[in-house]
Chain A
Amino acid sequence: MTPLSAATQLLEVVSATLAAPIFLGWVNQCRAWLQNRTAPSVLQPYYGLRKLLHKDAVLAENASPLFRAAPYVVFGTMVVAAAIIPSMGTGLPMSAAADGIALVGLLATARVFLSLAAMDVGTAFGSLGARREMMVGFLAEPALLMILFVAALISGTTSLPLIAEGLSSHALGLYPSLAFTAVAFVLVLLAENARIPIDNPSTHLELTMIHEAMLLEYSARHLALMEWAAALKLFNYACIGFALFVPWGAGNEAAGPLGLLLAVPLLALKLIVAGAVLALIETLSAKLRVFRAPEFLATAFLLAVLGLLVHLLLGA
């Protein structure tokens, strides 16, 4: 482990944790602009977190230790996931610990704890949200795995930093397989992060909600951690997307400290564009009925598998 790789690793984790709420704030700001509303500040999620952290936590009487531990577990897994996604540099010491498949497992761990905690207190909304979350997760996970497999097949490894490095060193060309999987990835990102066609992140106390329904019993610092983890999850997904489909600019060992310095503004630029596009997609689409969600995710799975097959047939 060189000092540079250690610095990259540290910078990546810290900046992901700190920038995630700002990224969420940017998406919300773009959405507000597109809907002709007065936009909240980019720092609004931070204000919300500060407010929540100052409050006293209230727990339900029959809450088990799992309910109290879940926010820390969910937040922790998201931070670990941020550590193995090559957002700024590919020379990550942590990435040897987990590859792309383990990353999907990490995300699944967070989902399982979130759902268990939601069912723990035994309210109707909590278990409703947990069931829906598990349904979406069980459909989105195979699609996400297929997407990773396509990238892994093209670059011959399942380790995310190596995939990003391999893909960025390829000659520019038309890759129908990557185009298909990119579309599939956007669909999975929307579904997994409770964005509009599947769930509306700005609803509260509605029968159609998924993510919010699971957080209803949380308050104060627990809620703050859960919301921070959700923002971090969106950030992580965006970075997975960059690593697979726009891998250029992530610094590597060869590029030295200068590469790392260049990677930071480039990542910021990618995030700004991705946030705007995400807001645009959300504004243009209407929320689907819950029963249409399987169809939506089946499309994502189909596109990912088509990408895989097209890659096997055409080698492109």
Chain B
Amino acid sequence: MNPLPLDMQLLNACAALLLLLSFSMLAQRRTVNLVHLLALQGALLVVATLIVAWRTGEAHLYLSALLTLALKVFGLPFLLHRLIRRMNVYWDTEPVINPSATMLIGLLVVVFSFGLAQPISALASTATRSTLGIAIAVILLSFLAMITRRKAMSQVVAFLSMENGLFFGAMSATYGMPMVVELGVALDVLVAMLVLGVFFFQIREQFDSLDLCHLETLKERE
């Protein structure tokens, strides 16, 4: 029952681990560990990209693997760690819903996204099409993580992990986006990260906390 060649098995294992990482991000309470998980997710993406590049022989995938390595494994986590250290926000407060309930909602999300991916992967002709469902699940789970968190820092980490999911999705559907798009997205994410870092300081200065509940009221209370 094992007709898959070894590289596809490895790719499937990477995809499964990505899914598992998304769930551990949902369950994680400490912001610092969240950043570690994000770096690990980036590393898995690099491995997956290299496998696909080796299998398809597409040269631009090697480049994007290099870009991912530089940006998502080292660059962004480094920036995030520095922000955490400066703002001293190692801990997140309790999420909006309790973790077990979040996990069960997450399971439903995974079922939904696998169902969603089924017709798309039936149409796709790439060898990696079966992992598309996992990519969609990673995106939606990051959405869920953003919804269930209160603090700005963990929401940003979830946002970055959503970008990772999009990258993985593009790779499994069409062997990666064109190089120009990829470079643009990478630059966007980097700039967004820098701008958000400034935002954090502004938010904290205004409200003495990174809790985004404070942004929900439009007027200042008298």
Enumerate chain A interface residues (CB-CB to B < 8 A).
154, 170-171, 173-174, 176-177, 179-180, 294-295, 298-299, 302-303, 305-306, 309-310, 312-316
Contacts and interface: CB of A to CB of B under 8 A. Distances in A.
B12 interface: yes
Contact of B4 (A298, A309, A316): A316
B20 A314 contact: no
A316 B133 contact: no
11 contacts: A171-B1, A173-B4, A176-B13, A177-B16, A179-B16, A306-B110, A309-B114, A313-B134, A314-B16, A315-B130, A316-B9
Contact of A302 (B2, B15, B107, B131): B107
A306 B2 contact: no
Interface residues of B, number: 29
Interface string B164-175: 000000000000
A294 to B, nearest CB: 6
Contacts, number: 66
Interface stretch (B47-55, B96-104, B198-206, B212-220): B96-104
Contact of A295 (B99, B107, B130): B99
A224 to B, nearest CB: 38
A179 B9 CA distance: 13
A299 B24 CA distance: 10
A170 B9 CA distance: 14
A312 B117 CA distance: 12
A315 B10 CA distance: 13
A166 to B, nearest CB: 9
Contacts of B107: 302, 305-306
Interface string B21-39: 0010001000000000000
Contacts of B13: 174, 176, 179
Nearest to A316: B12
A313 B27 contact: no
Given A174-B10, A174-B13, A315-B130, A310 B19 contact: yes
B111 interface: yes
Contacts of B106: 302
Nearest to B14: A176
A248 to B, nearest CB: 15
Contacts of A179: 13, 16
B17 interface: yes
A294 B2 contact: no
Nearest to B1: A170
A138 B100 CA distance: 15
Nearest to B117: A313
A214 to B, nearest CB: 25
B114 A312 contact: yes
Contacts of A314: 12, 15-16, 130-131
Interface in B57-103: 99-100, 103
B2 A173 contact: yes
Contacts of A298: 100, 103-104
A306 B103 CA distance: 11
B27 A180 contact: no
Contacts of A316: 2, 4, 9, 12
A312 B121 CA distance: 14
Contacts of B134: 310, 313
